[in-house]
Every structure is written in C-alpha cells, then in structure tokens.
C-alpha cells in the first residue's frame, strides 16, 4: 500500500478557554480531530487520517490528491502540518 502525505490545518479552539487544538484536512472533506496539546493534536491527526485512508482503500473510494502547501489558505493563527501515513503499517497497529 502507498504512503500518503496530506497537510493538516491546526487551529487553537476559539469557542472556549479549553486550550484545545482543532485539526482539519483541506483535501479530505469532513475529517476532523482535536487534541489538548499540539503533540496530541498531531498524533490524533495521524490516527484519523490512517483510519479514513484505509477505509477509502477498502471501499475502493477515490482518494484525493494532496494540495501543495502554497495553495492552502490559512486563517490567522493557524498552522500547516504535513501528516504522513503508511496504510500498510497503520493496518498492523489497529
């Protein structure tokens, strides 16, 4: 199976004072996660991306091409992080 690389957008939660971080993937609709710290948000991003991509592979769904970083618009205060998932290795861990 291939190794996928997608950019995740990480933003500080603005609706409350929890200090949590929200993660989204501009290239994959309706895929979100979060974390209490940046490290946790990044770890959760890897996990949710692995879950979604293996599901897409199993279902034979179209897997979108990742955008280039320069093409992704960020809101003020947001960060762009490259998340890499090897679906073969991911399957071994779940």
Per residue in 37-53, pLDDT (tens digit) is 999 999 999 999 999 99
Cα separations in angstroms, 68 against 5, 8, 32, 33, 60: 10, 12, 19, 21, 24
pLDDT at 2: 85
Q: Assess contact for 83 and 8: CB atoms under 8 A.
A: yes
Structure tokens at 48: 């949710």
Q: Assess contact for 64 and 27: CB atoms under 8 A.
A: yes
pLDDT-derived band at 94 (thresholds 50, 70, 90) equals confident
Query: Is the pLDDT score of 33 beyond 80?
Result: yes
Third-level CATH fold of 3-93: Double Stranded RNA Binding Domain (3.30.160)
Residue-range domain boundaries for the chain: 3-93
């Amino acid at each position: 199976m291939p190794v996928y690389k997608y950019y995740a957008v990480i933003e500080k939660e603005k609706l409350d004072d929890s200090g949590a971080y929200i993660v989204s993937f501009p290239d994959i609709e309706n895929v979100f996660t979060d974390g209490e710290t940046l490290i946790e948000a990044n770890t959760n991003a890897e996990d949710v991306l692995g879950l979604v991509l293996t599901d897409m592979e199993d279902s034979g769904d179209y897997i979108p091409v990742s955008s280039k970083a320069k093409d992704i618009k960020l809101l003020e205060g947001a960060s762009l992080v490259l998340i890499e998932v090897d679906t073969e290795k991911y399957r071994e861990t779940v």
